[in-house]
Amino acid sequence: MPGASLSHWTMTFFAAACLFLLVGEGLLTAGYGYPGAAIEAPATLAVVHLVTAGWFGLLMSGALLQFVPVLVAKPLKGGGAALPALVAVVIGEIGLVLGFILMDRGGAFAAPLLSFGALFLSLGYLMVAGIIGITLSSAWPLALPARFVALGLIALVATLGLGLTFALVLSGYLPSSWTRFLPPGLPLHAALGLGGWLTVSAVGVSYKLLPMFLLASESASGGGREVWLNAALAVALLLLAVILSVAGIAGSAVVLTLALLSSLVGLGLYGVDLLATYQARRRPKLELNSLASIAAFAALFAGAAWLAVAAAAGRVASDIAPIVYLLGFGWLTGLGLAKLYKIVPFLTWLECYGPVLGRVPTPRVQDLVSEPRARTWFVLFHAGVLLATLALAFDRDLLFRAAAGLQLGASLALIAEFLRTRRLMEIAPDQRLPGGAIRPNFFLPSLQPTRS
């Protein structure tokens, strides 16, 4: 929005997130963690947290720091804390993952590293939540997309509380009686993180950005309020299940089932809104980021339907690994990479050509990318996710590692596309820096403030 100040560190958040993604996919390709180890093994938890707290969390944090001011048409509050938050998250993530790795090998420093990492990780994400929360509070009453983000922040805080508790229990810093909370608490931790924090926030932002990218009216999707109400009910039920589990009161399984039903109703309504938005678009030819997003949305609805069928058939325990993989990589990672393919050129264009716009001819945002080449990488990425999901479903370990390798190669190629965009390599050399335009840094902020 005009006059809204934006975070200078968004690209740094994105760069760190991409590094954690590549490391996580590399370990999967090498056979580290599940399915080579048990789903609750320290090795598996190390890989899971590389992808969730490292890739997903930093990606979402960077995106929200950039776009929450757009959602509320207000300047970002407390943006100076973004860099300390990023540093805390990265240090905490490294400590947490090393703690799990050492725990897997029986290392003496596993416990202190695990607790140290969890503390720093929680501190960093609480700082991010504080920045976003203060910014949202300055724009009350909140518009619909911002209400989704606020709900996601509640789920984030709950996820951090559970994660820190688990780390202290595993490190031996809490009484051994707390270990009884681990079996019922882990699914709640995952549901609040992947579903409450990440998916709810992504859905909320999409209600603003998707019409913007598709040149569609925001009024085309009329069910957003009902989607939010179902999401809020699901998060409230998950929090109730946490309370019941901590108190040792029976009924958390029933509450969790009700949360799943509410989530499915909300996703069904969201699917109707997505279809209406795509049909109402004024952009006749879809850009690659929008096409790639469709594949991510397909993974979301396929994973949700699979989870519903598994729950009805009593097969959640046996099917949960491929379902979570499909939702984690097909939905959240697929959507993240698709939106980065749009956001990175857009922010690069603002940094480089925004200051000279109107004084000299400048390239278009679309000129900063090569869609035909990148389309191949998106196809290979989703093919890898699909093959890996099927391999997990049919217990084919070697096929899973091969598919994870295909996914890793495609992710690396897409990240290379982002770097090419940052270096303006798709622009002819004599047109890259017209009228004194400043070449953007790879992942550090530019020397001059960027405004939108």
**How far apart are the C-alpha atoms of 102 and 422, rounded to whole Å?**
37
For the chain, the straight-line distance linking the first and the last C-alpha, in angstroms and rounded, comes to 6
Angle, alpha carbons 348-205-308 (nearest 5°)? 130
Nearest partner of 260 among 210, 327, 329, judged by Cα? 327
Instruction: Give dist(CA 200, CA 34) in Å, integer.
Output: 27
Q: Are 93 and 27 in contact (CB under 8 A)?
A: no
Predicted confidence pLDDT, tens digits, the chain (452 residues): 333 445 689 999 999 999 999 999 999 999 999 998 988 899 999 999 999 999 999 999 999 999 999 888 888 998 899 999 999 999 999 999 999 999 988 777 899 999 999 999 999 999 999 999 999 999 888 999 999 999 999 999 999 999 999 999 988 888 888 888 888 889 999 999 999 999 999 999 999 888 888 888 877 777 889 999 999 999 999 999 999 988 888 888 899 999 999 999 999 999 999 999 988 888 888 899 999 999 999 999 999 999 999 999 999 999 999 999 999 999 999 999 999 999 999 999 988 888 888 788 888 999 999 999 999 999 999 999 999 999 999 999 999 999 999 999 999 999 999 999 999 999 988 888 888 778 888 787 654 444 43
Helices (H) and strands (E) in the chain, counts: 15, 0
Q: What is the DSSP secondary structure assignment for residue 357, as one 8-state letter? A: B
pLDDT at 135: 94
303 neighbors 263 (Cβ within 8 angstroms): no
Least Cα distance to 145 among 201, 223, 186, 84 occurs for: 201
Encoded amino acid at 166, one letter: F
Structure tokens at 389: 């999901």
Burial of residue 228 (number of CB atoms within 10 Å: 0-12, 13-18, 19+): buried
Interacting residues of 91 by C-beta distance below 8 A, sequence separation 6+: 117, 120, 124
**CA angle 358-362-367, nearest 5°?**
145
Q: Are 343 and 387 in contact (CB under 8 A)?
A: no
